Amino acid sequence: MNGCLFCRIAAGEIPSTKVYEDEHVLAFRDIAPQAPVHVLVIPKKHVSGWYDAQGEDDASLARLMRAAAKVAQMEGIVQSGFRVVSNCGPDAQQTVPHLHLHVLGGRAMAGEMA
Ligand code: AMP
């Protein structure tokens, strides 16, 4: 989508530190990491958020989750554990309106969800 930050990253117009990529999904390091491992996993196709996903996006969403697991494996945090977070809308403080998963690991997380 025109002007979307993550669409521009997926298109290579804005640089990112790529961790994983396939035909449908891109994973790259968060610019302001909240944990030793903090990777964002996005569908290359623009989807604003979970509320915006359509039936035709089902395969893409499944790939997104599988890619998050693959990233955790690649980053060596499967045994120690990791958290997958997806913020949706203002109360959740979603700042980039392009669906994404945060893969966080490498430190013990606090008990709360965020
Ligand atoms: P959210 O607040 O859940 O929408 O997450 C958006 C995330 O994108 C934040 O954790 C930001 O630090 C991250 N971010 C913003 N711009 C960039 C960028 N150019 N490259 C990598 N991560 C970014």
Query: Ligand 1: does its nearest atom lie under 6 Å from the Cβ of 94?
Result: yes
Percent share of the chain, pLDDT over 90: 83
**Ligand 1 midpoint to CA 58 (Å):** 24
Domain ranges in the chain are 5-105
Question: What CATH code would you report for 5-105?
Answer: 3.30.428.10
The ligand 1 atom at the shortest distance from the C-alpha of residue 29 is: 21
Between CA 44 and CA 100 the distance in angstroms is 10
Which pTM does this prediction carry? 0.96
- Give the mean pLDDT of the chain: 94
Query: Ligand 1: does its nearest atom lie under 6 Å from the Cβ of 48?
Result: no
Instruction: Assign 1 a pLDDT band (cuts: 50, 70, 90).
Output: confident
Instruction: Tell me if residue 46 is catalytic.
Output: no
Exposure string of 26-64, with b = 16+ CB inside 10 Å and e = fewer, is: bbbebeeeebebbbbbbbbebbbbeeebeeebeebbebb
The confidence score (pLDDT) of residue 26 equals 98
Query: Ligand 1: does its nearest atom lie under 6 Å from the Cβ of 79?
Result: no
The confidence score (pLDDT) of residue 110 equals 85
pLDDT tens-digit series, residues 62-114? 999 999 999 999 999 999 999 999 999 999 999 999 999 999 999 999 877 65
